[in-house]
Chains A and B, each alone.
Chain A
Amino acid sequence: MNLNLLRTLSKNNNRNWLGMISLLVGLLAWYFITRYSGIPNFILPSPFSVWNRLLKALGDGSLIYHTSITLSEVVLGLAVGTIFATIVGYGLAKSRSLERVLSPYLVASQAIPIVAIAPLLVIWLGDGILSKVVICALIVFFPVLVNTIVGVRAVPTALYDLMNSLHASRAQILWKVEVPASLPVFLGGLRVGATLSVIGAIVGELVDAEKGLGFLLQLGDFQFDTPMVFVAVFMLIALALMLYGIVTYLEKRFLKWQEKI
């Protein structure tokens, strides 16, 4: 092992420690605020009461059940939103006229507060999983779309010239040039979309709650069980972190070739 590598490793380890210390300080601060500020438990529960509530919800199976419901909505919404955004984004990147036709709608769609139209989507699409998946997909759509357009447009023209000189087919240009070249920017958009998708599912669940983490949030609020509200919020954070981690892993896996350049 050479010296440079050792230095880098020890630097990374230091940074990991910094993260751990930051979390620990945050937890301690939270504990001391609840312990000495006199803020009642139903306004700000202590880390211990949240931990105990988490164990109870894990023990009776309710947390796993509701988390799995939300996760399935998130994964479906993310998949649908990403597929549509990629197809539309590629079309828009390739055709300026199509972009002119569609862009007013696309930009306007982003100005609509999703919370406000969620009840309407429930009326239009029914109160099953479909409305949640669509809300989720709508939130995921824009960041993935924008990054797809930017990614595809950023492909250097020299690469097209090279492929054309080799008489490459349309499909070959797509798979051998456009996809790999735009992948870094596309995955950046997916990372944002994946984190936002959790919000989409929750917005849907808050409208007509009978299951999912959005339901747990509302039930906790209705019963003044604030530790339960915190447990649901932390599960949402965990879901978002997990999705973010998966996309980051994909980036490392598929963009290895970049490091070699």
Chain B
Amino acid sequence: MFRKFVLIMLGMTLVLAGCSNNPSANGTSGLTKIQLPMGYIPNIQFAPFYVAIQKGYFRDAGIEIDFDYKFETDGVKLVGAGELPFALVSGEQVLLARAQGLPVEYVAAWYQQYPVSVVAKSDLGILIPQDLKGRKIGLPGLFGATYVGLRALLFEAHMSESDVTLDAIGFNQVDLVAAGQQDIVVGYAENEPIQLRARGIPVTEIRVADYVELASNGILASEKVIKENPELVRAFVGAFLKGLSDTIANPEEALQMSATYIPNFADLDANVQKKVLETSIEQWKTDRLGYSDPQAWENMQNVLLDMGLITEKLDLSKAFTNEFIP
């Protein structure tokens, strides 16, 4: 009986060891295979990655990408545990993870603007954060980037959560506004406002990025890969930034190249897809692609402290770096 138990445990250990994803393990083509948690479903917003693959930038860098559309927090944990080298994450995730001792560092900024927006039906005349006073605002939940973005906006406008009524509604913002159950919701600049306008519902939008600069989505790396294989980090970031640069320069080409990666792309509203990409590009543009502004991290830390999501100041110099960008 005991022998059987030992054998089962040994078998399980071997299976688990086989599951661990080591970036140094080479694929059949001699390329380093990298599983990349994306944090969202296949979407035109990931065009820079699709373009970088299609144009062979990752291959030239010796990398083969395997997209993994899992939850953002799961990606961060796997990177923190040293199981995966990289993940795509939002800025607040980096600080929350480091506050809990996860050995992770943000190595390249992708979004220069925090992509969260407050979207309101036009007839309400909601144009500035102060207009939100006393209003009910629907948002996916009292956590996540939408909540952080809203709180940052209120913080900048010298308002607090008690000045508004928050209503957790799940990721149903578009449907609930369309059904008349919500008038003001928090979502992403490249999603909800575009979807609602496409349904013929006129809306106004307050972009968080117009009021405060916050560390936004980018590439997270494990301290392990940074220490053991910095060349891989440089190669990965370089290939991604080439894809980003090409997407910004030629959105039409990026749309075509992304088609094969997004299920049912041909059936989606082409105008909406184009608009989503255009809006995303607005948020990616900057003089130096990949650059992290220390002030954006400082601002993010202040918001998280104000929200009580972190309790003490972190060493921000360890949370992000610009050393891997060209």
A residues at B contact (CB < 8 Å): 39-43, 119, 122-123, 126-127, 207-210, 215, 218-219, 221-225
B residues at A contact (CB < 8 Å): 73, 76-77, 80-81, 96-97, 99-102, 138, 140-144, 166-172, 175-176, 179, 181, 309
When distances are taken between beta carbons in the complex, the residues of chain A under 8 Å from B172 are: 119, 122-123, 208
Closest 3 CB pairs of A and B: A210-B168, A208-B170, A209-B141
Contact B100 A223 (CB under 8 A): yes
Contact A127 B81 (CB under 8 A): no
When distances are taken between beta carbons in the complex, the residues of chain B under 8 Å from A210 are: 141-142, 166-168
Assembled-state Cα–Cα distance A127/B81 (Å): 36
Assembled-state Cα–Cα distance A209/B170 (Å): 7
When distances are taken between beta carbons in the complex, the residues of chain A under 8 Å from B166 are: 210
Nearest B residue (CB) for A131: B170
Contact B97 A224 (CB under 8 A): yes
Contact A222 B170 (CB under 8 A): no
Minimum CB–CB distance from A21 to chain B (whole Å) comes to 17
Contact B97 A127 (CB under 8 A): no
Assembled-state Cα–Cα distance A30/B69 (Å): 31
When distances are taken between beta carbons in the complex, the residues of chain A under 8 Å from B77 are: 42-43, 224
Q: Pull 26 A–B residue pairs with CB atoms less than 8 Å apart, ordered by A.
A: A40-B81, A42-B80, A42-B81, A42-B100, A42-B101, A43-B77, A119-B170, A119-B171, A119-B172, A127-B167, A127-B168, A207-B170, A208-B168, A208-B169, A210-B166, A210-B168, A215-B141, A215-B142, A215-B168, A218-B141, A218-B143, A219-B142, A222-B96, A224-B73, A224-B96, A225-B100
Secondary structure type dominating chain A contacts: loop
Inter-chain contact total with CB atoms closer than 8 Å: 76
Assembled-state Cα–Cα distance A223/B143 (Å): 9
Minimum CB–CB distance from A166 to chain B (whole Å) comes to 57
Minimum CB–CB distance from A130 to chain B (whole Å) comes to 13
Minimum CB–CB distance from A250 to chain B (whole Å) comes to 35
Assembled-state Cα–Cα distance A210/B80 (Å): 27
Assembled-state Cα–Cα distance A124/B140 (Å): 16
When distances are taken between beta carbons in the complex, the residues of chain B under 8 Å from A219 are: 142-143
When distances are taken between beta carbons in the complex, the residues of chain A under 8 Å from B167 are: 127, 210
List 15 additional A-B contacts (Cβ < 8 Å) besides A40-B80, A122-B172, A208-B168: A40-B101, A42-B101, A119-B171, A119-B172, A127-B170, A208-B172, A210-B167, A210-B168, A215-B141, A215-B142, A215-B168, A219-B142, A222-B143, A224-B80, A224-B102
When distances are taken between beta carbons in the complex, the residues of chain A under 8 Å from B170 are: 119, 122, 127, 207-208
Assembled-state Cα–Cα distance A207/B139 (Å): 11
Minimum CB–CB distance from B69 to chain A (whole Å) comes to 17
When distances are taken between beta carbons in the complex, the residues of chain B under 8 Å from A224 are: 73, 76-77, 80, 96-97, 99-100, 102
Contact A42 B102 (CB under 8 A): yes
Assembled-state Cα–Cα distance A219/B181 (Å): 25
Nearest A residue (CB) for B143: A222
Contact B141 A223 (CB under 8 A): no
Give the residue of B97, B99, B141 whose beta carbon is less than 8 angstroms from that of A208: B141
> If the complex has contacts A122-B169, A123-B175, A127-B168, are A41 and B101 also in contact, measured as CB distance less than 8 A?
yes
Assembled-state Cα–Cα distance A261/B20 (Å): 60
When distances are taken between beta carbons in the complex, the residues of chain B under 8 Å from A43 are: 77, 81
Minimum CB–CB distance from A216 to chain B (whole Å) comes to 10
